[in-house]
Amino acid sequence: MRWFWQRNKNARVSDDWLDAGSSLLDRHDSPIRSEGYDWSVIGVVVFLLAFGTIMVFSASISMVDKPNMNVSQTHFLLRHVVSMAIALAVGLIVYNIPLRWWNRFAPVLIVLAMLLLWAVFLPGIGRTVNGARRWIHVGMNLQVSEVAKFAALIGAAYYTVKRQEFMHSLTRGLAPAAVVMFFALLAISWQPDLGAMMVVIVIVFGVLFLGGLKGWIVSLLIAGAVLMASLMVYFTPWRMGRLVAYLDPWNPDYMMGKGYQLTHSLIAFGRGEWFGVGLGASIEKLHYLPEAHTDFILAVVGEELGFVGVMCVLAAFYWLVRRAFAIGRQAIRLDRPFSGLVAQGIGIWIGVQVIVNGGVATGILPTKGLTLPLVSFGGSSMLVTMAALALLLRVDRENRILMRGGSV
């Protein structure tokens, strides 16, 4: 693959990458108009938010009957709506911040994210839920690994542009970033949150790769990441148990234990068939499928709306990722490499998280807790995802301003 971006003394951009296989999703994009907003992105986001609100209510309505819960039928719905309102407010703020400010203060954002990642281990600050120490309380329980995803995106784009001339070098190009990544990933692994760690790694590697990091270095990094993940699984009994159960979830020894969640997720998809059993008619959400309104909400979608409903949701995410790459490519052509890498990094982020969430729910990947962006219940995920999408719309806005001959 030829690099889509080659930097010369004036930081001009080459379009060679358009001939590469990775541009397949973008070849048929229509030209981006120079006025208004990208209403297709806004429309898809609104659809996913509305759809997610309906499905969170449907998947959580039975929680009122769960022992020791003591909540109303609308408890999770109201919390989801409040989280969505806060996320929209934060998104509006992010949208009004120019990209040059994110570029300028990227090192500060990285330091703040690093402090948050390690602050969860301080007594009185970090909060433990189900044995995991991933949250701090700031008016709401904030999952710091979600903030790390956003910081990783900005930091990787900043670093790539700043050290573009060294991207061919392992020691001068990658090593400084690897040191920072090591301490961030160490904190995430101790929380522990293997799913978030995987997403952060993919975001950083993806942006560095798009920015010109040599293929052999990327291959070396992937091999190292796989080795590290394998060791974490091997030396952690409960992770090893999950992996063994994933390989044979229907084994009687695992069906009521480590494989319980996966088997009931598969049963939900099986019951849904083509068109589902009807909205609100899921049986698996009735305390059979754990985390039905969070990590496994796609299984409830599959049961109630069937294969067609699941494909509609995936099609919406496909369009969102496609537009992110198209907006990023437009920014690159306008000689805005930082903005372009941020936009395409958002596409990588959303795409990978959807693939992992869907893969886990359908048994393609081992069980790992990751939300379905904009759809699952989860305030931290909603907040950070909306901030990222607001940043994407900001990149698009600045593209349009420049195409009209203005300045940003």
Q: Is the per-residue pLDDT at 5 higher than 60?
A: no
Rounded to the nearest 10 degrees, how much is the dihedral formed by the CA atoms of 177, 180, 384, 371? 100
> 349 to each of 26, 196, 325, 385, how far by Cα in Å?
17, 11, 11, 9
Q: Is the per-residue pLDDT at 50 higher than 70?
A: yes
Q: Is the per-residue pLDDT at 159 higher than 70?
A: yes
Across 164-173, 180-189, 258-267, 269-278, least confident range: 164-173
Q: Rounded to 5 degrees, what are φ and ψ at 300?
A: -65, -40
pLDDT digits (tens, 9 = 90+) for 369-393: 788 999 999 888 999 999 999 999 9
pLDDT digits (tens, 9 = 90+) for 219-244: 887 787 778 777 777 777 767 777 77
User: Which tokens sit at 377?
Assistant: 């219940």
DSSP helix/strand/coil, 137: strand
Domain ranges of the chain: 36-403
Which one has a higher pLDDT value, 355 or 216? 355
| Sequence-separated (6 or more) residues with CB below 8 Å from residue 149 | 196, 199, 200, 203, 349, 384, 388
Please tell me the distance from the alpha carbon of residue 86 to that of residue 111, in angstroms, as a whole number: 24
| Sequence-separated (6 or more) residues with CB below 8 Å from residue 258 | 241, 242, 244, 245
Q: Is the per-residue pLDDT at 12 higher than 60?
A: no
pLDDT at 112: 92
